[in-house]
Structure 1
Amino acid sequence: MNFSPNKLNGSLIVLILLSTLMYAEGGGKKLNKTADPGTWPHTYMNVNNISTLIYADGQADINLLGNSGFVYPKGSGKAAVYESGFLWAGKINGEVRANGSSYISGLKPGKILPGGTPGDPSKARMYRVRRDYKTADLSSEISDNEGTQSEIRDRYDKDWKEWPAIDGAPYEDVDHDGQYNPSVDIPGEPGADETIWFVANDLDQTTSRNFIGSNPIGIEMQCTVYAFRNPGSLKNMIFKKYKIINKSTTPIDSMYTMTWGDMDIGNASDDFAGCDTLLNLGYIYNSISKDNYYAETPPAVGFALMQGPAVKSSAMDTAYLNNRKIPGMKNLPMTSIGYIFKNSTEFEGDISLGDNYSDGTLRLYNYMQGKTMNGRYYPVPAELGGGETRFPLSGDPVAKTGYLDGMLEDAADRRIGVNSGPFTMAPGDTQEVVFAEIAAGADPGVNYLQAVTLLKNYAGFAREFFKESRSGVRILSSPALTAGEYDKEIVLNWGSDQASVSKIESFDFLTHKFQGYNVYQLPYAGAKITEGKRIAVFDIIDSVKIIYGEVINRETGAVERLAQQFGKDSGIQRYLRITEDAYTKLPLINGKKYYFAVTAYTFSPSLDPANVETAPSYVEAAPHSNDPGVLYSASIGDTLSVSHVSGKSDGEVLPLVVEPELLTGDEYMVEFDTLNGKTLWKVTNTTKNKVLLSNQTALAEKEGYPIADGILFKVIGPDSGMKRDLPYLYNGKSGMGWVIRAGERLFVQNLSLGLNLEGFGGAIGAGKTWLGSSAGYDRMKNILIKFAAADTNGNVSSNDPDVSYAYRYLMGSDLAPAKNEFAEFIINKAPGFAFQDFKKNFPFAAYDIEDVYNPRRLAVGYLENNAAEGLVNGLYWPPVSVKDNISVNSPREWFFIFDTDYSETPEAALSGDIHSGNMPVLIHATVNRRYSKAWTGDDEMILLVNHLFSPDDKFTFKSIAPVFDGQSAKADVDRINVFPNPYYGVNSQELNRYERFVTFSHLPQKATIRIFNLAGQLVRTIHKESQGQFATWDLLNENNFQAASGIYLVHIDMPELGKTKILKLAVIQEQIIPERY
């Protein structure tokens, strides 16, 4: 049979119609029900793992042909819900009235106008908005036959701009002005990825009575349906918020609401139902392990009540209504289950549709109160003790305990209703009911009972999520991913969008906080994350590494706690250089397309799931050599030269080239400030006079540094306190944090480093490090110590200019003298490290030498210890070499240098407890003397400290932009190539059997490619005017027919370079046979 793309013959039409009808009957979709989706406006909710229809008259989950329409998982072609709806009933002057929607609807679209008349339903409209519609992948919408990509995007744009906030539709008031502004505010349920909103009413007498026989009430129903596309539990649920307003003039009492659903888990005839009173959940699941349509993996589906109607309560209670807290009220929970057997002969049956008051309205009212159609409460099986209940089927089908479906009725077609009430509504009152429609399972390895377990887990998460979301929903955003293409290298970058980074990394919701990033390589375009390879993880350094969660073991089918995230305490990084193919373990190939994705993930120490991973951000990239004539003056990983133009910080500014292609050639300045003791820094592009980065805090080696203009701005702050050095094992005259300026070294650390101070091998450090000090690390100074002459016992001459008045402190002064000779030196018997006296007998002078031309002499002090090994004698003279000078019973002869001018008169501020943390101690030393010999007075030592960043510090540098060189471009003509060559039936980069192409490389921006056969006939002309060096030929001729196999001559004209190039190309085509006729 001939195949013609332009003609569809009668046989094919019949075949398509037959296949459509077969599909309509499959998957448990029932043509024998009386449901009618009607002709009112409708739209899809399909942003996550569910695709379903919502109608303007309140019906939901039924498809346009009147069959099961809740497709789960999306794209599977299998449906788990036939139809669902929301209903209400109450008494007006003793008469029960009811309305809403089930298989048909008693509502018409539109609001109730002032005066109590209905709006024109023909003018009513459904609104749907999606937060990311401008850039979103719209494949789900296209798969649901919603139109072309541009048509769908245009509808999203129209609804965004015309969002009916004035009628009650929710939105994020970004500018907090109380009015919807489409250029600033975000329409839809705050935080949701997609929202549908519409309004309907029950005023039409005929429609109301034809539903279930009730007269109208005067209820306006505003419906908000919203969903999230995150890959975690949220992707498997849709939230529905129903706001009902009594716009009649009559009060309603004894009122109830029901969230109703006819779930058909694939084949409708083998279902069971259940409820969980703790989760406010009603659900339906498969009764046996295998379903005719879902096979071994039938899902479970249910309704979980998030927020019930608000009723008066004690003063201690609080209800939520219209996004406000209402004290003295509470939200009702699920108060009963409406459990409906189809065609039950004993005690249950469907609500009768049509003008049938007793079997319609009254039967529904019974169901809403947890009763059977005959007005009795549900019987409890005899084996469970008998009796009656409003919560039938509340047992655990997994553990096979309690009241279970199947005890009284065999498996069959089931419906379920989650009820809440009673409550009253005065004229003008509003009530709000919110529930989640949740699906679980339908995954390889998840059996029918494990689906119930997952459903309950999802319901629990939904409740916690909804509870916290009342104070503002926060959803972890996907990273903003780009890719740079270089010679045999690809650079993934998700750090340049500072707003995106800030939003992701500040995430804190439901005890979930941002934890890290995952980077994946994917095997082909469109592949799922589960098919990819995780090639890198960058996570916060906090000892949280492997994160476990409940997952399905695909071999055993059991629900297990397995590792889901694989952190390494690596620190945050927002870019990745890739030079190797994760699948082949070989270097990247120029011109070949590779596929990557990046996600962010959270961690919660208390919730299950303990982690949530974002939807992936995808990118494809093909490495290649420089475009013709383009020269990079810097390579990936280069550090640009920096000038420290002011200030004296010991920190570093290291501008690291991440993407040479993005370098601007501009000049930059990095400046610093402090806020509440925290160092902040900013980057200004001084060429453009534009602040590029502000309020940056990263100062440590493994912190996530920001990226902008192709540069990673790495700012490394120095360690606090003295400069670090290892314990020295030599007799040299310098270390990183000290220098012997004259004479010899008189101090040694040996056994004096137990406090782990930062300098001099652990024996000298900042006062703040261990002792405590009012002088912060930002006040540290380089210190010169000039030693005085002292005899072997530490006695000095008061006439020596390097002898200092010093503050003496004593540890254990409140204790009895450890030795009798200590008594005369214990003057102040206060506890702690108490001040004792102030005398001129200290053997060195200390100077602040920050200004080397004007040294400033500093106050000094020392500690003695009233202990058995102490040396309490009123002199600073630490033990020699190997003696312990640290432990509680040791001498603890320590010295201190203060950030206070030297004076020969004691200051009250230094005459207290040295360990109080209130004194400006710059230096704290626990050193020993190196020798037992006398000091000559000829020795000097400098202590070197780290200077932190301050507002005085400024660093500048200039980036180097790529340049275009015409001569190089002409020379690059010789590199022009086409691949694969020969083309032998297939190209490894082709995605399907109908996509055929070869690629030309090393082309300038403008080129004309003419392809001739050997007879000299022009087969195809390709005009290239795009950026980049690649162009493709789809192996079609000018008439869009497949080019013949053979040898082709390719003539490439490059007018801007004044050059041409001729290539030979061999093409051997595969014969394409249509898949269907």
Structure 2
Amino acid sequence: MLKALAAITITLSAFIPVLAQKRVPDLQTQSKITNRIPERSTLININKLSMWIRADGMSGRNPHTFGGGVIFPHGTTNVVFQDGIVWAGLVKDGKTPELRAGGQRHIVGTVEGRIISKGVAEDPNDPDVRIWRIRRDWNTADLRQDAAELNNISIEEVTKSQIAEVREQYERDWNEWPWQKGAPFYDNNNGIMDPGEEPGLFDADQVVWLVANDLSEGHTFEPFGSPPIGIEFQATLWAYKGPPPLDHAIFKHYRVIYKGTATTPDTAHIDSMYIGQWSDPDVGSYSDDFVGVDTLLSLGYGYNASEIDDAYSRFDLPPPAAGYVLFASPTTDLPTRQTMTSFGYSTPHPLFHGCLGYECALEFWNLFRGFMPRSDPKNPEPWRTPSGDITKFPLSGDPVAGTGDIDGIVLSPGDRRMLMSSGPFTMALGDTQNVLIALVAAHGGSHLTSVSMLKFHTRAVFSVFENDLRPPNPPAPPELAISKLDRTLVLNWGNDATAVAETEPSPQDSYEFEGYNVYQLPSQEAPLEQAKKIATFDRVNEVTTIMRTVFHRESGRLLQRPLRIGRNTGVQRFLVVTHDHLRDRPLANGTPYYFAVTAYNHNPDNPIIPSLETPLDIHKAVPEWPKPGVRQGHAVGDTLKVEPLAGAGFIFPIVIDPSQISGDRYRIRIRRVGQDQLMWDLFNETAGEFLLRDQTNFSGNNDYPLIGGLLVKVVGEPPVREFFFGADAPSFDPQTAQRDVRQQVNVYPNPYVGVNRLETSRFRPFVTFTHLPQKTKIQIFNLAGQLVRTLEKDNDSQFLKWDLTNDHNWLVASGIYLARIEMPELDEVKVLKVVIVNRQLY
């Protein structure tokens, strides 16, 4: 039997006829209808779209308000009122009628639970019959928006207990993932979810899964007047947080399995079967919509008929557009490729009279086959363009240009339904039909530029499909370490050779590592928009500025914009920072600075997503004076002496981080491999181990590993083959340490007069004790000799803050205080006077 593929990617706006004009709760009052998480429903909402789905397959309907349940963007209004998967075919099981239909439209024809055997389904009331939702970062993610939308409240109203409830739901579903029922997981190809394997698919950031069936005659009869077929229906929905514009899409995979009713014979099959995506797209207000289809993109979509929509105007936004795209599946269990075979639409307009009972099955049958929704299957009425041509794809013109067969020529703006169909195919008992869909939305500067932007986003969605349904990923993040020196910071992301290899691998998925960006930021929580790029180290190749195709919302035009700017500087994995690039002045000891290093890649064949950059991982670093008694053996930038002298001009051991120098002695050995290949090795003579082997860089650039605080360059081919060098490690002298603390231990600012330039809030005053050794105890007394506060530290930092509070966490009064600083490892005690003049807070 033919196992056909119906793969549909949807952009929010095409579906079938409905009984009557919908009644939607008033937008002003619907947000307060219910305020608790519905038991049978959940959300897929990790990106720009938010979509409700219920355990029985009801999709896109808000269970709180009973209004539209696909919201775009978050916190605004709906682009879809409801959608679903529908099917119809000639069922050859000895029963009548042969023509039967099923699925979900406004009335849902499926019930939660899988089919255990022919005619036997799971009990919908069983606790294990439900809907599941997971995300990999459930334990650390900020779930405030999730809790707000699930409870139908604002983010400001969310409580800690509501957040905890959502987190517990994620944990439970993660641990109880129903892989035995068919839920997807990352498998080692043995078909069993072994310990260590995780639920999910395609690197998705959020996944929803359910299983339902059509065995309840009461449920199938109401929407279609049709008896059950014996269909099990599995739905997997997933979404990505980014990159744009993938954060404007929700992917759906539907698996339809013919398992049969209690009386279905083993020889039963379904002839001329069709599967389709039905939708009732309401872009804001339901009374002013149009729909259309783009056959080149396999896209059915909904959009607003005018520039202003009453619902979106309340948010001061133009109306968006949304739609569905038809894919061919790349996975092995979807072996054939079928494109969209027809598109149809309907409306409550008298031209489309609606249907009741079995008449609906007949009308769907005609729609599936590319005809108008009429109830006479023997004499179907074809769709015609305004010029009179017969078509299976009505409304396939260009609404942006105003050309061709477009909505509004025959019908005035209003409520619409649409259906994207795939078929016919044949299913034997036990066969499976797969439907792959992407729901996409876009917001342009007007109702028509939203359509253009929707098609732009659809092309990006196709790029994911062409990459085996896996989104492009940035390189592995660099592992940054920062050494803190006197008015100097050394940023180093090349120490870990394994991490470097993960960041700079051979090309994967058409994306190749291209370079590093170094940023300075104003705070630990600052976004990328506030970062200042202070360096880029990119590969020397033909790639410099990476351009991205972007959609200009106001004009609706595609423009080229720079995304990454490189200058072929060569790859480097360290940076010595002595300047504050945000304030344009030298670094100051005791002042916190914030840096991040990212890696980015490049794909010249993807103009929409040509490059991805790792997220910011912000590190705080505070330059400091040398620790008491410590003297560095070398300065940053020193070049060490090489033996024999024949190495001069060929071997350059350069000091990058004096604090990391061990004092060991090293040997470089240069050897020739074969006729033309020259290699060199670095051996630690003191430790008796190789640090580097088979190195081939003789260029003299900075693309050398950083070893023990040294950048060892080998340039050209020297006349001899072995060289030796060593470096002086930092030294420590106890007597010097005692002298240092007597002279240098201090407190800043002193006096404190209501302000400290390092404070981030006037409600968090502090002073800082400086030049401290590792272990320090500070007792603060008032002039009456009363102990006010005790501070202690035992770490590498030479700084310790006092927040001007006493041991009871009360702000101390203005006055003079004595700080007794005890440094037991140096057998030293120092007493400082500290003057505090508090500001008037209220």
Structure 1-normalised TM-score?
A: 0.62
Which residues of 2 match residues 763-782 of structure 1 at below 5 A? none
1:307 aligned residue: 328
Letter of the structure 2 residue corresponding to residue 224 of structure 1:
T
Partner of 1:251: 269
Q: CA deviation at 1:553?
A: 5.6
Which residue of 2 is the match for residue 612 of structure 1? 611
User: What is residue 890 of structure 1 aligned with on the other side?
Assistant: none
> CA offsets, 1:349-396, max 9 Å, x none?
6xx8xxx634665555555445554356675463xx034533233222
Q: Which of 417, 420, 445 is matched with 2:422 structurally?
A: 420
Q: Deviations over 1:637-690 (max 9, x none)?
A: 455666799xx9999565555555555667777777859976677767787788
1:519 corresponds in structure 2 to: 518
State the match for 1:624 in structure 2: 623
Where do residues 540-555 of structure 1 align in structure 2 (5 Å cutoff)? Answer: 540-551=539-550
CA spacing shift, 1:271–1:1005, aligned 2, 3 Å:
farther
* Structure 2 residue 497 is the aligned partner of structure 1 residue 476: no
**2:463 is paired with a residue of what secondary structure?**
helix
Counterparts of 1:513 and 1:692, CA distance in 2: 27
Counterpart CA distance in 1 for 2:664 and 2:84 is 61
Of 232, 237, 241, 2:253 maps to 241
Give the structure 2 partner of residue 924 of structure 1.
none
SS of 1:274 mapped into structure 2: strand
Q: Which residue of 2 aligns with 1:224?
A: 236
- What secondary structure sits across from 2:327 in the alignment? strand
CA distance in 2 between counterparts of 1:268 and 1:1061 reads 76
1:431 CA drift (Å): 2.2
| Larger deviation, residues 693-702 vs 418-427 | 693-702
Residue 1066 (structure 1) aligned with residue 836 (structure 2) = yes
- Cα distance in structure 1, aligned partners of 2:682 and 2:120: 61
Deviations 1:1008-1056 (A, max 9, x none): 5566677877766555455534455566666667x37734737465464
What is the correspondence of 1:459-498 to structure 2 with a 5 Å cutoff? 459-469=458-468, 475-486=473-484, 487-498=486-497
The answer to whether the aligner puts 1:331 opposite 2:337 as a matched pair is yes
The question of 1:90 aligning with 2:102 is answered: no
Q: Is 1:529 matched up with 2:532?
A: no
- How much does 1:304 deviate? 1.8
- Say which SS state the counterpart of residue 399 (structure 2) adopts: coil
Cα separation, 2, equivalents of 1:415 and 1:1067: 71
Shift of 1:508: 3.6
Equivalent in 382, 394, 397 of residue 395 of structure 1: 397
Q: Which moved more, 1:86-95 or 1:661-670?
A: 661-670
Query: Which of 1036, 1049, 1068 matches 2:817?
Result: 1049
Secondary structure, aligned partner of 1:226: strand
Q: Please say if residues 550 and 560 of structure 2, whose CA atoms lie closer than 8 Å, have aligned partners that are also in contact.
A: yes
Task: Give the aligned partner of residue 201 of structure 2.
Answer: 189
Matched, 1:1028 2:797: yes
Distance 1:59 1:1031 in 2: 59
Contact 1:518 1:599 in 2 (8 A): yes
Aligned with residue 292 of structure 1, among 300, 313, 333: 313
Q: Which deviations, in whole Å up to 9, do the C-alpha atoms of 1:769-803 show, x marking residues without a partner?
A: xxxxxxxxxxxxxxxxxxxxxxxxxxxxxxxxxxx
The 8 Å contact of residues 550 and 561 in structure 1, kept in 2 or not, is answered as yes
Contact 2:41 2:52 in 1 (8 A): no
2:294 to 276, 281, 290: 276
Please report how far the alpha carbon of residue 462 of structure 1 lies from its aligned counterpart in structure 2 after TM superposition: 2.0
Instruction: Provide the residue aligned with 1:975 in structure 2.
Output: 745
Equivalent in 347, 353, 357 of residue 352 of structure 2: 347
**1:469 offset after TM fit, Å?**
1.9
- The Cα shift of 1:280 comes to 1.1
Residues 26-425 of structure 1 aligned to structure 2 (within 5 Å): 38-40=38-40, 42=42, 44-46=44-46, 48-61=47-60, 65-66=64-65, 70=70, 72-73=72-73, 80-93=79-92, 94-102=97-105, 105-113=108-116, 117-120=120-123, 121-124=126-129, 130=135, 164-173=178-187, 180-183=193-196, 185=197, 187-209=199-221, 214-248=226-260, 249=264, 250-290=268-308, 291-307=312-328, 320-322=330-332, 326=335, 330-341=336-347, 343-347=348-352, 357-358=357-358, 361-374=361-374, 379-380=383-384, 382=386, 385-425=387-427
Name the SS of the counterpart of 1:58 in structure 2: coil
Residues 1007, 1052 of structure 1: 8 Å contact kept: no
How far the C-alpha of 1:402 sits from its partner, in A, is 1.9
AA paired with 2:251? F
Cα distance in 2, alignment partners of residues 115 and 980 from structure 1: 84
| Structure 2 CA distance for aligned equivalents of residues 959 and 378 of structure 1 | 87
Output the amino acid matched with 1:374.
Answer: R
- 1:718 pairs with one of 703, 716, 719: 716
Query: Which residue type is aligned with residue 621 of structure 2?
Result: A
Inter-CA distance 322–118: structure 2 relative to 1 (3 Å threshold): farther
Residue 346 of structure 1 aligns to a residue in which SS? coil
Q: Which has the larger radius of gyration?
A: 1
State whether residues 478 and 599 of structure 1, in contact with CA within 8 Å, keep that contact through their aligned partners in structure 2.
Answer: no
**Counterparts of 1:555 and 1:582, CA distance in 2:** 35
Residues 321 and 668 (structure 1), Cα distance of their counterparts in 2 relative to 1, 3 Å cut: same
The offset of 1:699, in angstroms, is 4.4
Deviations 1:414-459 (A, max 9, x none): 45443322222212212222222223336xxx44433332321221
Q: CA RMSD in A?
A: 4.8
**Counterpart amino acid of residue 982 in structure 1:** Y
SS in 2 for 1:393: coil
Following the alignment from structure 1 to structure 2, what is the Cα–Cα distance between the partners of residues 993 and 346? 69
Bigger CA drift: 362-371 or 219-228?
A: 362-371
Verify the 8 A CA contact 1:266 1:292 in the aligned structure 2. Answer: no
Task: Give TM-score scaled by structure 2 length.
Answer: 0.77
- Contact residue 278 and residue 420 of structure 2 kept, 8 A: yes
SS in 1 for 2:580: coil
Deviations 1:118-164 (A, max 9, x none): 34542146555556678877787677669799988887677666655
Tell me: CA distance 1:340–1:495, structure 2 relative to 1, closer, same or farther (3 Å).
Answer: farther
Query: 2:404 corresponds to which letter in structure 1?
Result: G
Check whether the contact 2:290–2:414 (CA below 8 A) recurs between aligned residues: yes
Structure 1 residues 1030 and 38: CA distance shift in structure 2, 3 A: same
CA distances 1:504-536 after superposition (whole Å, capped 9, x unpaired) = 433645644333333333445544434433332
Q: Among all aligned residue pairs of Structure 1 and Structure 2, give the percentage whose two residues are the same amino acid.
A: 35
CA contact (8 A) 2:779 2:789 kept: yes
Compare relative contact order (CA 8 Å, sep 6+) and give the higher one, 1 or 2. 2
Equivalences, count? 781
1:622-1021 correspondence to structure 2 within 5 Å: 622-626=621-625, 628-629=627-628, 632-638=632-638, 654=652, 656-660=654-658, 698-702=697-701, 704-707=703-706, 712=711, 714-716=712-714, 718=716, 971-972=740-741, 974-978=744-748, 982=752, 984=754, 990=760, 1001-1007=770-776
Whether the 8 Å contact between 1:516 and 1:602 is mirrored in structure 2 is yes
How far apart in 2 are the matches of 1:57 and 1:1061?
74
With over 3 angstroms needed to count, the CA separation of the structure-2 counterparts of 1:1047 and 1:505, relative to structure 1, is same
Structure 1 residues 410 and 204, CA gap change in structure 2 (3 angstroms): same
Q: Which runs of 5+ in 2 are unaligned?
A: 1-24, 150-157
Residues of 1 paired with 2:597 and 2:383: CA distance? 54
Separation in structure 2 between the aligned mates of residue 390 and residue 230 of structure 1, nearest angstrom: 35
Q: 1:32 to 1:1051 in 2, by over 3 A?
A: closer
- Following superposition, the deviation at residue 1004 of structure 1 comes to 4.5
**Amino acid corresponding to residue 1066 of structure 1 in structure 2:** I
* Distance in 2 separating the partners of 1:255 and 1:124: 28
Q: Given that residues 449 and 555 in structure 2 are in contact (C-alpha distance below 8 angstroms), is that contact kept between their aligned partners in structure 1?
A: no
